[in-house]
Amino acid sequence: MAGLEHHKVAMDPAFVRWTNMQNNRYKYFRWTPRTGLLATIYIVVVPGIFAYVGWKWDGAYDFRAKRRGDLLVER
């Protein structure tokens, strides 16, 4: 059967501290100008860029029923 002694090797103290920091990060988070700017960029700017590119290129390429040598661009 499976033994009860799983950790025969000592845990690395630095890894344990890092794991605890990752698990408790929300307790020590503070809004600063930098975190506000990063949140704005990742919540508004990046999706906005993807939306604009998707809107701009919507329907530009048609992959249905294309054969080798056919153009992808419908003009």
| pLDDT tens sequence across 33-57 | 999 999 999 999 999 999 999 999 8
Radius of gyration for the alpha carbons in the chain, expressed in angstroms and rounded: 26
| Model pTM score | 0.57
9 has a pLDDT exceeding 80: no
Report the alpha-carbon distance of residue 35 to residue 55 in Å, rounded. Answer: 29
Residue 56: which residues within 8 A CB-CB, separation 6 or more? none
Q: Is the pLDDT of residue 1 over 60?
A: no
User: Left, alpha or beta for 7 (phi > 0: left; psi -120 to 50: alpha)?
Assistant: beta
In this prediction, residue 6 has a pLDDT band, given cuts at 50, 70 and 90, of low
How far is it, in rounded angstroms, from Cα 34 to Cα 47? 19
Q: Check pLDDT > 70 for residue 75.
A: no
